[in-house]
Amino acid sequence: MSSGSQYYWDRVLPLANSTGPELPADSNPQNVYPRLQEASDQATNAVGRLIQNELSSVKDDIQLLDDINVATKAKYNDLSTTVQDLLTTVSQVEAMYAELDGYLDQAEEVCDRIDDLTVMAYQLDACAAQLGKVREHSRMALGLACPSFTPA
């Protein structure tokens, strides 16, 4: 046997062969055991109260977690409803945009034509101004030669 296990057996065997705790010589065993029984009962009751308090605390924690779970579930249901409403609204907006898309294309075409007409109007205005100058110049040239003459 190793020395470690020998030490163990040297310590355990005398305890196994003993008849119980040794009492002081002047003590009466009938007085010691009731006190020991009372202390044991008090310790058992204290441990019982400790376990009961721990179980009560665990029960309260579980109830709190259950309440949080119920509240979270309700919140997620509300969020789910809100998201469904948003998806419906987005679908409606997309449908409206698809309807308006043809009109928007037509409006852009009209704007482009207006821009083209504006450019043409400026060009016509410039041509008219130049024709006016030529006409005035022609009138002056003809007016000098013939003051009563007005071209048609």
Domain residue extents for the chain:
37-145
Torsional class of 5: left (φ above 0), alpha (ψ -120 to 50), beta (otherwise): alpha
Alpha carbon dihedral 140, 141, 142, 146, in 10-degree steps, equals 80
Q: Using alpha carbons only, what angle is made at residue 149 by residues 145 and 151, rounded to the nearest 5 degrees?
A: 120
On whether the pTM is more than 0.95, the answer is: no
Mean pLDDT, all residues of the chain: 81
pLDDT under 70: residue ranges of the chain: 1-32, 143-152
Neighbour count for residue 142 (Cβ, 10 Å): 13
CB 105 within 8 A of CB 118: no
